[in-house]
Amino acid sequence: DEVHIHEIQDLVENELMQGPYKALARSYIEYRHDRDIAREKQSALTREIEGLIEESNLDLINENANKDGKVIPTQRDLLAGIVAKHYAKTHILPRDVVQAHEVGDIHYHDLDYAPFFPMFNCMLIDLKGMLTHGFKMGNAEIDTPKSISTATAVTAQIIAQVASHIYGGTTINRIDEVLAPYVMTSYEKHLEIAKEWNIAEPEEFAKARTEKECYDAFQSLEYEVNTLHTANGQTPFVTFGFGLG
Radius of gyration of the chain (CA): 28
Please give the pLDDT value at position 44: 84
Tell whether the model's pLDDT for residue 214 goes beyond 90: yes
For residue 22, the model assigns a pLDDT of 86
Residue 67 or 225, more confident: 225
* pLDDT tens figures, 81-103: 999 998 999 889 998 999 999 99
How many Å apart are CA 237 and CA 169, to the nearest integer? Answer: 5
- pTM attached to this predicted model: 0.77
Q: How far apart are CA 134 and CA 157, in angstroms?
A: 13
CA distances from 241 to 175, 197, 245 (A): 6, 38, 11
The pLDDT of residue 130 is above 90: yes
Widest pairwise Cα distance in the chain: 105
Mean pLDDT, all residues of the chain? 91
Asked if residues 142 and 134 have their Cβ atoms less than 8 Å apart, the reply is yes
> pLDDT, tens digit, for every residue of 167-197?
889 999 999 999 999 999 999 999 999 999 9
CA distance 20 to 38: 29
Which amino acid belongs to residue 1? D
| Predicted pLDDT of residue 106 | 96
